[in-house]
């Protein structure tokens, strides 16, 4: 939902900040006070076209900032992470539970956009906004006008468990979309494997794989540590000298350590004859002497194995060079790469049969996908007429009794969502053919049509905030009261912002803002018009609703009527 909107130097707004609440927020005020400028500000921060005329006269730039609360909206948080270029944190979405979107519009028409302080493109901003806000005003940011979203709304209506029995729909259909996605993914996987095998066979890829495997096998023919062996051969003289000296000092020399220990052992043995309590010490020294003697003999054997071998050194250096080249090409796990190559070669050796098997798998996967798509289509078609009738009934209660909505389900190419294209078509007058929502000319009719759809699909909509700017155009009385009640019903599931001139609608708001113009003098002493916004208390709401009921003169009668409307 939208938590905060801050606007600077936009049109007649000098600077204002408004904190919105959950539920139904209503904005009222005289015509021209600046209510629609707030919508323009919201459109701007959501990626709308920035016109230099929007910058307040005399200012260098206009700025709009919006703070959105994304708690519980994993999809929106994922879009934020994608824009910021960060990975999801396991089990912790809290760093992206709030997002600040900022748009700066220079007086020369240039603009910049930021998400959580990071510069971003308008395309990214528009993609983020698509799931955050739906604005019913001047055909902008209408999620429901975008026909690509219609299939999702129909599915939400058709497969919502709580209402399935009432609509006479088959149980379990809600799992078909998941099944369709799985079937399509499986079909794509099999087709990709089949195509890869066909390409490999046609291009003689097996010869190349065998060549690569032969290279690896030649280097991996035994477990020799090539680098260590090369180091020993390169420094054979130095290594031999170190081992000679170590062996002499430890074991074979005249004054070796083991020779000295033998003297120590004789003395200790004689001491034990005198004091048996020294025997444990004698045994420890005996054990150490035995270990050192073994080590001395091992040094001798190692020394005898050290000799210069130029031919062997040249062979191993060539092998080491080859090993390093293969590591650069294939990575560290050469054994694993060799195993993969053997498996691929085995596939190619039986390529003809493998292609037959994969083609059979493809046909089976395609049949499954087609069957799932057919079942999904049947569910959609069964729900389409019910959805169209429900929306048409809503339109009748909103003063559009002649309007009819058809939910058209047409077959198209098979895909992850099935084989259907869904579009909502509306005929606003009797005898007219139904047309796409985007072609509805009247702003008021469009807003009411969208309100009717949102009312029917209140729990299914993906966005957090619905904005209505022209929903009350050309209506009054009972219809206005019906619109207000339906807005309140939609607000049970979404945050709603409604700009209205009708007291029946304003009275339904949980939070009420009043927008007004004021003439002030700037630092140079010039008179300037400013738009200001105020959140109304209960008594202030009574006064404002009374004004909307009775005009400029507010009487006790209109106040009483306002209190009755406000309940």
Pairing of strands 98-106, 61-69: antiparallel
Kindly state whether residues 13 and 133 are assigned to the same domain.
yes
Instruction: Specify the 3-state DSSP secondary structure of 526.
Output: coil
Residue 70 placed within a domain: yes
Look at residues 331, 347, 375 and tell me which one is the last residue of a structural domain.
375
What is the separation, in whole angstroms, between the first and last Cα of the chain?
27
Output the six-digit token pair for 538. 């209960």
Does pTM surpass 0.75? no
Pick from 495, 487, 536, 545: nearest CA to 515: 536
Kindly state whether residues 64 and 102 are assigned to the same domain.
yes
Please count the structural domains in the chain. Answer: 3
Output the six-digit token pair for 156. 């939400």
377 burial level (CB within 10 Å; 0-12, 13-18, 19+): middle
Kindly state whether residues 63 and 28 are assigned to the same domain.
yes
Residue 359 placed within a domain: yes
Residue 263 placed within a domain: yes
Look at residues 341, 375, 409 and tell me which one is the last residue of a structural domain.
375
Residue-wise pLDDT tens for the chain (567 aa)?
A: 899 999 998 888 888 899 999 999 999 988 777 788 888 888 888 888 888 888 988 889 999 999 998 887 777 788 888 888 776 554 544 567 788 999 999 988 899 999 888 898 888 888 887 777 877 764 444 566 778 888 888 887 886 544 443 444 444 445 788 889 899 999 999 999 888 888 877 766 677 788 888 877 777 765 456 666 666 666 666 776 777 788 778 877 777 888 888 888 888 888 888 888 989 998 898 898 888 888 888 887 777 666 776 776 676 667 777 777 777 778 777 778 888 888 877 777 777 788 888 999 999 999 999 999 999 998 899 889 889 998 888 888 887 888 888 999 999 889 999 999 999 898 888 888 888 877 765 666 777 777 888 788 766 655 678 888 867 777 777 888 888 888 898 888 889 999 888 899 999 999 999 988 887 776 666 777 788 889 999 999 999 999 888 876 788 888 899 998 887
CB crowding 473-503: b at 16 or more within 10 Å, else e: eebeeebbbbbbebbbebbeebbbbbbbbbb
Kindly state whether residues 285 and 346 are assigned to the same domain.
yes
Residue 390 placed within a domain: no
Kindly state whether residues 96 and 193 are assigned to the same domain.
no
Residue 161 placed within a domain: no
524 torsion bin: left (phi>0), alpha (psi -120 to 50), beta (else): alpha
Kindly state whether residues 80 and 123 are assigned to the same domain.
yes
Kindly state whether residues 262 and 331 are assigned to the same domain.
yes
Kindly state whether residues 545 and 525 are assigned to the same domain.
no
Kindly state whether residues 340 and 237 are assigned to the same domain.
yes
141 torsion bin: left (phi>0), alpha (psi -120 to 50), beta (else): left
Q: Which structural domain, as residue segments, surrounds residue 218? A: 176-375
Kindly state whether residues 272 and 202 are assigned to the same domain.
yes
Kindly state whether residues 21 and 120 are assigned to the same domain.
yes
Kindly state whether residues 217 and 307 are assigned to the same domain.
yes
User: Which CATH number fits the domain that encloses residue 72?
Assistant: 3.40.50.300
Contacts of 562 (CB under 8 A, 6+ apart): 503, 507, 541, 542, 543, 545, 546, 549
Instruction: Specify the 3-state DSSP secondary structure of 112.
Output: strand
Q: Which letter does DSSP use for residue 204 in this model?
A: T
């Amino acid at each position: 939902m939208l938590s905060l909107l801050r606007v600077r130097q936009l049109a007649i707004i000098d600077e204002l900040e408004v904190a919105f609440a959950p539920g139904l927020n209503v904005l009222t005020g005289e015509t021209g006070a600046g209510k629609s400028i707030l919508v323009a500000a919201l459109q701007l921060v959501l990626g709308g076209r920035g016109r230099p005329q929007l910058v307040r006269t005399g200012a260098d730039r206009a700025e709009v900032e919006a703070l959105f609360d994304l708690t519980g909206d994993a999809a929106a948080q994922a879009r934020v992470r994608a824009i910021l270029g960060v990975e999801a944190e396991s089990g912790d979405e809290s760093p992206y539970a709030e997002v600040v979107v900022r748009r700066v519009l220079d007086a020369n028409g240039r603009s910049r956009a930021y998400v959580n302080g990071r510069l971003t493109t308008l395309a990214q901003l528009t993609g983020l906004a698509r799931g955050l806000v739906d604005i019913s005003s001047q055909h902008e940011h209408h999620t429901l006008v975008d026909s690509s979203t219609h299939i999702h709304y129909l599915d939400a209506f058709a497969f919502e468990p709580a209402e399935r029995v009432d609509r006479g729909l088959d149980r379990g259909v809600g799992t078909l979309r998941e099944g369709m996605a799985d079937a399509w993914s499986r079909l794509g996987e099999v087709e990709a494997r089949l195509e890869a095998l066909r390409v490999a066979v046609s291009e003689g890829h097996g010869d190349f794989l065998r060549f690569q495997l032969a290279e690896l096998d030649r280097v991996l023919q035994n477990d020799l540590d090539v680098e260590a062996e090369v180091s020993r051969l390169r420094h054979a003289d130095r290594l031999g000298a170190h081992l000679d000296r170590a062996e002499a000092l430890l074991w074979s020399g005249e004054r070796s350590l083991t020779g000295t220990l033998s003297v120590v052992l004789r003395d200790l043995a004689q001491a034990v004859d005198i004091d048996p309590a020294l025997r444990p010490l004698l045994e420890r020294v005996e054990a150490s002497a035995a270990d050192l003697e073994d080590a001395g003999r091992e040094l001798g054997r190692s020394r005898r194995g050290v000799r210069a071998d130029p031919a062997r050194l040249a062979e191993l250096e060539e092998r080491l060079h080859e090993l390093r080249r293969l590591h650069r090409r294939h990575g560290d796990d050469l054994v694993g790469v060799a195993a993969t190559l053997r498996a691929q070669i085995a596939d190619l050796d039986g390529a003809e049969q493998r292609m037959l098997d994969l083609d059979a798998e493809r046909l089976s996967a395609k049949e499954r996908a087609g069957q799932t798509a057919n079942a999904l289509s049947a569910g959609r078609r069964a729900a389409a007429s019910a959805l169209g009738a429900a929306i048409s009934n809503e339109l009748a209660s909103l003063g559009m009794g002649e309007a009819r909505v058809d939910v058209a389900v047409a077959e198209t190419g098979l895909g992850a969502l099935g084989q259907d294209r869904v579009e909502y078509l509306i005929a606003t007058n009797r005898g007219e053919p139904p047309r796409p929502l985007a072609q509805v000319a009247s702003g008021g009719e469009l807003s009411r049509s969208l309100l009717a759809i949102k009312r029917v699909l209140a729990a299914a909509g993906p966005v957090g905030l619905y904005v209505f700017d022209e929903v009350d155009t050309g209506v009054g009385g009972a219809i206005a009261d019906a619109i207000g009640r339906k807005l309140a019903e939609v607000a049970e599931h979404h945050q709603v912002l409604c700009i209205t001139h009708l007291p029946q609608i304003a009275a339904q708001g949980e939070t009420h803002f009043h927008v007004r113009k004021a003439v002030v003098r700037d630092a140079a002493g010039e008179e300037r018009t400013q738009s200001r916004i105020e959140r109304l208390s209960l008594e202030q709401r009574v006064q404002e609703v009374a004004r909307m009921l009775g005009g400029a003169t507010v009487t006790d009668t209109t106040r009483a009527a306002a209190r009755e409307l406000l309940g």
